[in-house]
Chain A
Amino acid sequence: MDIVINISSGLCLFVGSFLCLSGGVGMLRFPDFYTRMHAAGVTDTLGSAMILIGLMIISTGFLVFIKLVMILLLGMLIGPTTSHVLAKAALHNGLEPQLGHEDADNKETTSSNP
């Protein structure tokens, strides 16, 4: 039983930290604001959820478990909301999404519609 708990929590933590890292890299490497926001927003919610679930599995007390659930629920509620509001405000205030060059556009359309 112990080993199952340890392995499952380790797996959750691993997936969560991988997602967080990839979100950070995406945040740094993507070309414009909207793609960056997509990288951060998507990985943040799932990554933090995975890490918190990993911690929940190894948590000892009942109160600790409940607090972790509360943090998880808050994260699930707050993360997508802030992403939505941020994108809306950026669009409203006139930040244009950066579209690809003509060539890249053509290439994409040709590759997607063969």
Chain B
Amino acid sequence: MINIVILTLLVVIAIAIIRMKDLFAVVMLLGIYGLLSASFFVAMDAVDVAFTEAAVGAGISTLLMLVVISMTGRREITTRHKPFSALFVVAITGFLLIYGTLDMPYFGSADAPIHGHVAPRYINDSMQEIGIPNIVTSVLASYRAFDTFGEVVVIFTAGIGVLALLSVVRRPEDPEQIAVINDSMHERHLVIRIIAKILIPFILLFALYVQFHGDFGPGGGFQAGVIFAAAIILYTMLFGLSTARRVINQSLIRLVAATGVLLYGSVGLATLLSGGNFFDYNVLANDPIAGQHLGIALIELGVGCTVAVVIIIIFFNFAARREMQLNNKKQHQDKKNKESSSC
């Protein structure tokens, strides 16, 4: 019942997103869409997925899109071109896909292939083999550690890509100028600054809780990294990019991003060298269960480091681009004003 209501709302919002021309409204609706789909996951009992969706889909991606829109402008360019052939192709494909779903087993039926393949083993034996209560974490970090390694490498690559494409060389700023900017921002954002100062330690602490509680409840490296990065982003937004750059050493965090991936990979290598399979943590300690615990804790730490730092890097570079654009515009304006006044 609740699923049907949420799915209907999702469809309504999706149609509204397509119809909107104002990109800012689209981003806002995407935020609602993320929150709603996360509540859908909660209603379906997929708590870990809901966690990730809440942190990434509703939080960070909205944030990054807003920064981009504030650089590019918020109007969609209207085209007169009506792509009927593309519509035809899409309609045919959609029809075929819907036709294909008719062959699928009913939703939740017991003899669906997904329930017969490896799921019974995960549900029945993971407590003996891995020894941690949260099955999702044991699947993610132990049974399918190789897949997760791929995901972490993808995230790392995204960070490198943003660095390669968007990083700008910044002149070293003099501390006085930073102090001036800081004071002017202090006046404008006084209330949120104080609230943020109260909240930031709490958010960081909560991120650590999510990181290390992942064995027992929903959570883990990905979510913890995103929450950690969100706290840093909050700081950067309210205290200015230059101040945040002085607080967080750029070359150091790049090193941390690489170290996270390296830590993950070297755990796999260590298992290989101790005579087990790649990412077979049983051989890490004398007791297989203890080995599993150690391996999972280490790779979750690697994942957390990489995710947090990559998101911080992406945000810093976006914000630096935006600042550069604003400064250029301002200089342009100043030049124009000078010329007009001199004439």
Contacts and interface: CB of A to CB of B under 8 A. Distances in A.
Direct contact of A and B (CB under 8 A): yes
Interface of A: 77-78, 81, 84-85
Give the size range of B's interface with the partner: under 10
Nearest to A92: B188
Contact of A85 (B191, B198, B199): B191
Q: What's the dominant secondary structure at chain B's contact region?
A: helix
3 shortest interchain CB distances as A-B pairs? A81-B195, A85-B192, A84-B191
Contacts of A84: 191
B213 to A, nearest CB: 11
Contacts of A78: 195, 199
Interface of B: 191-192, 195, 198-199
B199 A77 contact: yes
Contacts, number: 11
Contacts of B199: 77-78
11 contacts: A77-B195, A77-B198, A77-B199, A78-B195, A78-B199, A81-B191, A81-B192, A81-B195, A84-B191, A85-B191, A85-B192
A91 to B, nearest CB: 12
Contacts of A77: 195, 198-199
A77 B192 CA distance: 10
A8 B198 CA distance: 32
A28 to B, nearest CB: 15
Contacts of B191: 81, 84-85
A85 B198 CA distance: 16
A109 B116 CA distance: 74
Given A77-B198, A85-B191, 9 more contacts: A77-B195, A77-B199, A78-B195, A78-B199, A81-B191, A81-B192, A81-B195, A84-B191, A85-B192
A101 B192 CA distance: 35
Contacts of A85: 191-192
B205 to A, nearest CB: 11
